[in-house]
Every structure is written in structure tokens, then in C-alpha cells.
């Protein structure tokens, strides 16, 4: 199950990179998966790999950040790879926003995305960039040298040669370690790897060779071959019955790797965060019900309505900030807005201050659409005692 999907655009230097964040639940400190889609460098996008992202999000479970890099021929090497590095850096710098401060990070890619995931690990090591704990390469293409040429030779590599021609500005770039990780001289100090190959895939030999070279460089690497299958991208990279065997292996590998790296005290912190998020979601549920009512509940009834996590309200009042001042009663909000409907966007727990932050869109009868930011403050029994709320009108134009 995927609880939330958030669309974002990352701005870095002169590059804008669309990303899609998948959250499986309100639980915090989950691992993060950076998903780099395949599609022969010329195809694929956030939508084609939505199913795969949801699979990893729900089955692992993990927060998945899918990157919409610019496809070739417009997105030539190294531009699209630099976009992936930008997103990796953004993840590292925004772990608190992702509610994943102390958890691991995996890079996953299929086909061309597997090539770029492997290359990203080399790039990050060379730049002393953000730490990657493991790499999962699904039917990767780790070698674009194509037996020495990207010109047509009427053999089984001609399709890959055409893809390389689209991706590369200069044919000599095919020998760059960030284009052909298999041909890199230095494979040491890279993240642990799982390389999934398909028995009848033309890319199988290169994938297996890359796995062996990682092992020779003392990098923990596992190679798994799915028998009787060809390139899984032929099934549009969906988490289908055809791909299920390899994907189960991938999920198991990620789960095992991260379960061995749970920081001491993380489970306790996660439990507190989970309770805060549960209370915040309960508050949203109550607010949604109130918005549908023809008459506002009396303030005295709010405590009973919000039980068990909203038993007490400081000074027997709900504190709503609207148009620069606090209303004394929820009825004031009803008079201002009329009825309303809520679309949750994001909920974050802040366990250190015993609070939760909620961002949601409010469609109202009288005021149109509003973007709302809420801070809920809880006592030690996780009862709400203060609600600070700020509204911003959404420009319909």
C-alpha cells in the first residue's frame, strides 16, 4: 500500500528535475530508495515506472524517490546523470523532510537506469558525495563500448549501439567509467550490489561480468539470474508476474541489508513518531467530518469528538489562525469557510518537540482553495493542547 505520492521539482544550478516521492505509511525512519528508470535512455519517465516505484515502496517498505531525468537525445551524457546526482544530494540534505533521518539509502535502476545507478555510485565515490548503502541493478547495461564501436555491425549489440549513439555526444565517451562502469579501472569502495540478470537477455553477460569484477574488487556483490526470461523491460518494467521473481529477490536483498543497519534507539523513536502521526491523521479525519456538517460542533463537544488523541484543548478552545487572528470557536471557521473538503499532502512527525506538521489543500464553499499548514502540539499523553494554523489562498490562474 502507498499512503502518499508527492510531486516535486528540484532546482539545481541551471537544471530542473521533476521527482515523485512515494511514502508507504506514516512510519518514520524508513529507508530511502532512489529509483532511476530505464527506457534505453530515450524513453521512460515517472509514469512508465510508477508501478515499479509503488512496488518497492509497499513491499520493502521504503520511501521511494523516482527521478524524471531528461531523456536522450536532448539529455546527453553527462547531463542526465548529473540530474540523478542532484536528486541524490537533495535526498541527503532533506532527510528530515522525508522523515528518514537515520535510515539507509539504496539506488535502484533497470536497464539504462541500471547503467546510470552503477555510474552514480562511481561518481559519488569519486566526489566523496552522499553515502549510498547499496545498489540494485535490474538487467543493467554496464558496458556501452559495444565491442569497440557504436556503429552498426548487424549483430545482437546493434540495438544497444543505437541507444548509445543517442545518449552520447562523443563516441569516445563510451569508454568513460560513468558511461561503461564495467570498463572502469577502479571498482573498489563501491556500495554492496545486487545484480539481477535474465537468462535470455543480450545484456546478461555484461551484467554478470560486472558482478564478478565487483567481487574481485572486494565489493559485496550478489548475482541472480532469472531463468527462462528475457529483458524484463520488455514487460514495460511493470511489477508483473513476469518480473515478480526478480523483484522479490530485490526486495529481500534491500530488507536484509537495512535490517542489519538499524541504529540503536531508532525503533523506539519510530514508535513515538508513529503515534504522533496517527494522532495527526485522526485530527485530519475529524476536521474532514466537521467540514461536511451543516452546523459547527460546539467547542465543548470537540474534546469528545476527537478522542482518544484530542481529549483536551487548552482553555477549552480550538485555536485556529485565520486572517491574522485566532478564532475563539470552530464555528468561526464554519462561518468564514462554509463547508470544506480536505486533500492531505504531507504529514511529518517532530518527536523532539512532541508535535506534528501537516500540509493539506482545503477546498471551501466560500473561499475557494486554500493551502494550509498546521502545527499540532501534544502533551505527554499525546493529547492535542495547541493548534497553530496558517492559510494561503491558491491562485486559480
CATH of the domain at 331: 3.10.450.50
Lowest mean pLDDT among 160-174, 251-265, 366-380: 251-265
Residues 253 and 171 reside in one and the same domain: yes
Distance in angstroms (rounded) separating the CA atoms of residues 75 and 168: 9
Distance in angstroms (rounded) separating the CA atoms of residues 267 and 272: 9
Q: Mean pLDDT score of the chain, rounded to an integer? A: 80
Average pLDDT over residues 85-107: 89
pLDDT in tens, 205-247: 999 999 999 999 999 999 999 998 888 754 444 556 678 889 9
β-sheet bridge partners, residue 5: 22
**pLDDT bucket at 9, cuts 50 / 70 / 90:** very high
- Nearest CA-CA partner of 107 in 21, 45, 207, 35: 35
Distance in angstroms (rounded) separating the CA atoms of residues 316 and 303: 8
pLDDT for position 206: 94
pLDDT in tens, 374-397: 787 877 777 776 777 777 777 665
Residue at which a domain ends, from 259, 286, 313: 259
User: What is the percent of the chain where pLDDT is above 70?
Assistant: 77
pLDDT for position 236: 43
DSSP letter (8 states) at residue 99: T
pLDDT for position 286: 65
User: Helix crossing, 266-292 with 330-337: angle to 10°?
Assistant: 60
**pLDDT bucket at 283, cuts 50 / 70 / 90:** confident
Inter-CA distances, 203 with 145, 195, 209, 222, Å: 13, 12, 10, 17
Split into its structural domains, the chain has a count of 2
Q: Count the residues in the chain.
A: 397
Residue 175 pLDDT > 50:
yes
Residues 158 and 225 reside in one and the same domain: yes
Backbone region of residue 314 per phi and psi (left: phi > 0; alpha: psi in -120 to 50; beta: other values): beta
Residues 358 and 252 reside in one and the same domain: no
Distance in angstroms (rounded) separating the CA atoms of residues 121 and 193: 10
What is the Cβ-side half-sphere exposure of residue 130, based on CA atoms within 13 angstroms?
A: 21
Residues 335 and 205 reside in one and the same domain: no
Residues 226 and 291 reside in one and the same domain: no
CATH code (residue 214): 3.40.50.1820
Residues 349 and 297 reside in one and the same domain: yes
Average pLDDT over residues 266-282: 64
pLDDT in tens, 69-92: 999 999 999 999 999 999 999 999
Is omega for the bond preceding 78 within 30 degrees of 0, making it cis?
yes
Residues 43 and 103 reside in one and the same domain: yes
Average pLDDT over residues 14-24: 92
- Nearest CA-CA partner of 100 in 280, 348, 268: 348
45 in helix, strand or coil? coil
**pLDDT bucket at 284, cuts 50 / 70 / 90:** confident
Residue 12 CB coordination number (10 Å): 14
Is omega for the bond preceding 308 within 30 degrees of 0, making it cis?
yes
Residues 361 and 237 reside in one and the same domain: no
Residues 195 and 298 reside in one and the same domain: no
Ordered strands of the 105-110 beta sheet:
4-12, 15-23, 63-67, 32-36, 105-110, 134-138, 192-198, 221-226
Rg over alpha carbons for the chain, rounded to the nearest Å, is 25
Average pLDDT over residues 301-308: 41
Residues 214 and 319 reside in one and the same domain: no
Cα end-to-end span (Å), the chain: 34
Residue at which a domain ends, from 234, 259, 284: 259
Placement of cell 516521492 in the chain: 21
Pick the most confident of 83-87, 94-98, 279-283, 306-310: 83-87
Residues 220 and 273 reside in one and the same domain: no
Q: Dump the DSSP string for 148-206.
A: G--S--SSTTHHHHHHHHHH-SSGGGGGSTTT-GGG-S--TTPPEEEEEEETT-TTHHH
Pairing of strands 192-198, 221-226: parallel
β-sheet bridge partners, residue 326: 321
Parent domain of 372? 266-393
Placement of cell 499525546 in the chain: 382
Distance in angstroms (rounded) separating the CA atoms of residues 287 and 281: 10
Residue 293 pLDDT > 90:
no
How distant is the alpha carbon of residue 29 from its chain centre?
Answer: 13
pLDDT for position 308: 38
Residue 5 pLDDT > 50:
yes
125 in helix, strand or coil? helix
Residue at which a domain ends, from 205, 231, 259: 259
Average pLDDT over residues 271-299: 62
Average pLDDT over residues 350-372: 80
pLDDT for position 18: 96
Residues 207 and 273 reside in one and the same domain: no
Amino acid at each position: 500500500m502507498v499512503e502518499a505520492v508527492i510531486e516535486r521539482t528540484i532546482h539545481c544550478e541551471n537544471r530542473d528535475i521533476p521527482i515523485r516521492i512515494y511514502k508507504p505509511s506514516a512510519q518514520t525512519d524508513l529507508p530511502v530508495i532512489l529509483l532511476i528508470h530505464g527506457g534505453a535512455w530515450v524513453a521512460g519517465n515517472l509514469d512508465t515506472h510508477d508501478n515499479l516505484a509503488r512496488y518497492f515502496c509497499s513491499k520493502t517498505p521504503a520511501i521511494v524517490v523516482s527521478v524524471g531525468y531528461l531523456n536522450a537525445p536532448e539529455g546527453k551524457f553527462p547531463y542526465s546523470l548529473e540530474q540523478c546526482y542532484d536528486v541524490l544530494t537533495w535526498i541527503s540534505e532533506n532527510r528530515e523532510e522525508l522523515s528518514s533521518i537515520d535510515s539507509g539509502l539504496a539506488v535502484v535502476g533497470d536497464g539504462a537506469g541500471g547503467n546510470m545507478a552503477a555510474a552514480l555510485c562511481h561518481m559519488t565515490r569519486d566526489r566523496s558525495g552522499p553515502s549510498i548503502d547499496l545498489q540494485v541493478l535490474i538487467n543493467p547495461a554496464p558496458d556501452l563500448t559495444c565491442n569497440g564501436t557504436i556503429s552498426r555491425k548487424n549483430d545482437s549489440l546493434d540495438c544497444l549501439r543505437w541507444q548509445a549513439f543517442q545518449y552520447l555526444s562523443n563516441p569516445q565517451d563510451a569508454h568513460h567509467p560513468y558511461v561503461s562502469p564495467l570498463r572502469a579501472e577502479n571498482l573498489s569502495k563501491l556500495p554492496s550490489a545486487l545484480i539481477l540478470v535474465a537468462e535470455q537477455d543480450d545484456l546478461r553477460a555484461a551484467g554478470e561480468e560486472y558482478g564478478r569484477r565487483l567481487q574481485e574488487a572486494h565489493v559485496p556483490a550478489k548475482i541472480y539470474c532469472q531463468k527462462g526470461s528475457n529483458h524484463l523491460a520488455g514487460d514495460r518494467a511493470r511489477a508483473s508476474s513476469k518480473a515478480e521473481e526478480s523483484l522479490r529477490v530485490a526486495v529481500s536483498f534491500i530488507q536484509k541489508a537495512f535490517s542489519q543497519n538499524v541504529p540503536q534507539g531508532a525503533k523506539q523513536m519510530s514508535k513515538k513518531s508513529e503515534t504522533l502521526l496517527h494522532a495527526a491523521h485522526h485530527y485530519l479525519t475529524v476536521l474532514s467530518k466537521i467540514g461536511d456538517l451543516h452546523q459547527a460542533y460546539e467547542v465543548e463537544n470537540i474534546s469528545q469528538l476527537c478522542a482518544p488523541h484530542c481529549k483536551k484543548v487548552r482553555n477549552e478552545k480550538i485555536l485556529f489562525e485565520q486572517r491574522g487572528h485566532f478564532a475563539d470557536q470552530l464555528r468561526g471557521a464554519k462561518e468564514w469557510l462554509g463547508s470544506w473538503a480536505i486533500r492531505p499532502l504531507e504529514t511529518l512527525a517532530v518527536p523532539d518537540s512532541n508535535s506534528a506538521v501537516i500540509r493539506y489543500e482545503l477546498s471551501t464553499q466560500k473561499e475557494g482553495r486554500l493551502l494550509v499548514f498546521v502545527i499540532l502540539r501534544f502533551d505527554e499523553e499525546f493529547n492535542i493542547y495547541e493548534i497553530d494554523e496558517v492559510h494561503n489562498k491558491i491562485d486559480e490562474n
